[in-house]
Amino acid sequence: MARKGENIHKRKDGRWEGRYIKSRTAEGRIVWGYLYGKSYNDVKQKLIPKKAESGFYHLTDSKLTFEAFSEVWLCSIQRSIKESTYSHYCYTLHKYLLPVLGTLKISALDEAVLEQSFRIILSPADQSHKPLGLSSAKECLSMLRRICKYAAHLHLIRPMELCVHLPQEKKSVEAPLSLEEQKALRAFVLNAPTPRKIGLLLSAELGLRIGEVCGLKWCDFDWDAGIFSVRRTVSRISDGNCHTKRVVQPPKTRTSRREIPIPNYLLPILRNLREGFSENDWFLSGSEDKPVEPRCYRKSIRCYLIAAGVRPVRPHTLRHTFATTCLVAGCDIKTLSELLGHANASITLKCYVHSDLTRKRQEIDRIYSDCLRGQ
């Protein structure tokens, strides 16, 4: 229900309309901006960032709510982050934080209020969402701390240090493909190679993320140098209007922009597949119009793995497979980190390197054989 002073009303055509102060003329007259939606809540959510951009909210106002200030914070960081990151922040904020904290006054926040609110966010009594796992909980806590830090920076609240207990981590990491599975997958792909099938090897044998495979174009391949460049990634994000949109943007981090050598066995196969395509054609789709999206390519990957007689693992497990295979083969961590596009080697060790029983047995045998020779 629209409230007095919100400048939101229902039109005769059934749509909802909201207006905000867009600017002022030289004479000081208000220039109104308008936006529309299917419901009151839809328009309200669109209106908040517009008001934040135009400086509608008075940060010294004691009635300033957490919801309004969080939109001010989002506006302050929007230009420094990728579009997909901004969309994800908006989703996390509106899905988890605002239902609990949105109506609270910024001036009323303290450690006790925030910690109690965060416990509700972790496991809401109304079951508005499932209890958060460790990853989502960390994400929500990080965002809450950043918003509070920004509020303290503007002297709206005093600096606070939140002390909360996060849920325990539930390890459910898929095992990387075994050597036999890797051989079966390669044999399946090379038997009748296509760009879509080759994409599996780019993940399992060269460590690309699924969005990076979808973002490849034929112009990214340097045949003389025998390398290809990772320059973009494809993803689907929320557009803020209850819909989603496809975005093509730079890779995940600065170090994710990288050049990767093409294995000798794969180079002539790629050269042959290149015939008939232009430089600007997308590698997977084969046209200039639009790339294959990760959500569609996931289905193809699953079908290919099953056809190859391999476990239908998640696409990211193929990347895990590459990392583990490289380590077993003796690849140094720094080089592996650069191939994976990680910011530092600690990420590689923590997230992607899995030690299987065979490798553990080999290491034990090596250690004790060295000890016995030294006696």
CA distance linking residue 64 with residue 58, whole number of Å: 7
CA distance linking residue 184 with residue 94, whole number of Å: 45
Residue ranges of alpha helices (H) inside the chain are 40-53, 66-77, 83-92, 98-101, 111-122, 134-153, 179-191, 195-204, 210-214, 267-274, 294-307, 315-328, 333-340, 345-351, 357-374
DSSP symbols for 166-185:
PPPP---PPPPPPHHHHHHH
What's the CATH superfamily of 179-362? Intergrase catalytic core (1.10.443.10)
User: And the tokens for 125?
Assistant: 């009594």
If one counts every other C-beta atom within 10 angstroms of the C-beta of residue 16, the result is 20
DSSP symbols for 189-228:
HHHS--HHHHHHHHHHTT---HHHHHT-BGGGEETTTTEE
CA distance linking residue 79 with residue 84, whole number of Å: 12
Instruction: Supply the pTM of this predicted model.
Output: 0.70
Q: Give burial (CB, 10 Å; 0-12/13-18/19+) of 334.
A: exposed
| Distant-in-sequence contacts of 109-117, Cβ < 8 A, 24+ apart | 109/66, 109/148, 109/151, 109/157, 109/160, 110/160, 111/160, 111/161, 111/162, 111/163, 114/144, 114/148, 114/160, 114/162, 115/162, 115/163, 115/164
If one counts every other C-beta atom within 10 angstroms of the C-beta of residue 318, the result is 30
Give just the sign of the alpha carbon dihedral 118, 121, 123, 125: positive
In 3D space, the residue among 87, 55, 81, 83 whose CA is nearest the CA of residue 68 turns out to be 55
Where is 37: in which H helix or E strand? strand 30-37
Q: Which residues contact 241 (CB under 8 A, 6 or more apart)?
A: 37, 42, 46
Angle at 114 between CA 166 and CA 98, to 5 degrees: 95
In 3D space, the residue among 222, 209, 219, 186 whose CA is nearest the CA of residue 304 turns out to be 186
CA distance linking residue 323 with residue 104, whole number of Å: 46
Q: What are phi and psi of 274, to 5 degrees?
A: -65, -30
Q: Supply the angle between the helices 294-307 and 195-204 in degrees, to the nearest 10.
A: 90
For residue 132, which amino acid is it?
L
Domain with CATH 1.10.150.130 in the chain: 8-153
CATH of domain 8-153: 1.10.150.130
Q: How many CA atoms lie within 13 A of 5 on its CB side?
A: 1
| 227-230 β-sheet, strand order | 221-222, 227-230, 258-261
pLDDT per residue of the chain (375 residues) written in tens, 0 to 9: 556 556 888 888 989 988 887 877 877 787 888 889 888 877 877 776 776 666 655 566 668 899 989 988 998 888 888 888 888 999 899 999 999 999 999 988 999 999 999 999 998 888 888 889 888 999 999 999 999 998 888 888 888 888 888 888 766 678 899 999 999 999 999 999 999 999 999 999 999 999 999 999 999 999 999 999 999 999 988 776 667 888 899 987 888 999 999 999 999 999 999 998 999 999 999 999 899 999 999 999 999 999 999 999 999 999 999 988 888 888 888 898 899 998 887 777 777 555 556 666 666 776 777 666 655
pLDDT at 53: 66
CA distance linking residue 37 with residue 362, whole number of Å: 63
Q: Hunting for tokens 């302050």 — which residue is that?
A: 76
Domain with CATH 1.10.443.10 in the chain: 179-362
For residue 10, which amino acid is it?
K
CA distance linking residue 211 with residue 236, whole number of Å: 10
pLDDT at 205: 95
